[in-house]
Structure 1
């Protein structure tokens, strides 16, 4: 009789450990899944906020868009050498050590996605592309 009792206790202990391992595996899997899904949602929220900020703060009024298009228009009459170095994107020297995306215009979907990925991972120097994008956007 004692032997049967020990066997039952041993089987119960094994079963409880097995159920506990399954529960831990389930909880760990659920935590990993939640963290992955939460990270994806956070990336989407950050990207949405970034583009909303750009649209809210950098969408020009009609007066400003006229000024911007006038500044970025290639016009030989109103060229000023002093201002040309600030607005001419061709004069920006990209160092050989620059590892970010190299853009060509007009921008393609691949170029935009590379730029967004580089911005997301902080692999891009924004000042190099700011005048390029601004010039091509407003002309």
Structure 2
């Protein structure tokens, strides 16, 4: 069995375009199958747009500054979260359950906390070493 790299689905471009499973920002995407979820999506999108516009305004209405001080750090933060989540759920000792056996509690018991040191655990509010 060959090792596979994780799919890079942390980037906001993926969540907006939504390939292959649907946009996270479009209420009529195939991810949302009822009106309650569509309404929650629309509200979330409105909040994201307000945050993005507020950052744009605070940065002097400069696309360059918005990209440099808002989009790039947002993308980096997403990458870090994906790396931490990937490492918490990948280990030789973790059991993999078939879909009919899997439950949330079983999945949570198959999480590995890792200590990164150098103050990174504290900097990341202990999501790296305190998930379990």
TM value normalised by structure 2:
0.26
Larger RCO, structures 1/2 (Cα 8 Å, 6+ apart): 1
TM value normalised by structure 1:
0.25
- Larger C-alpha radius of gyration, 1 or 2? 1
More helix by share: 1
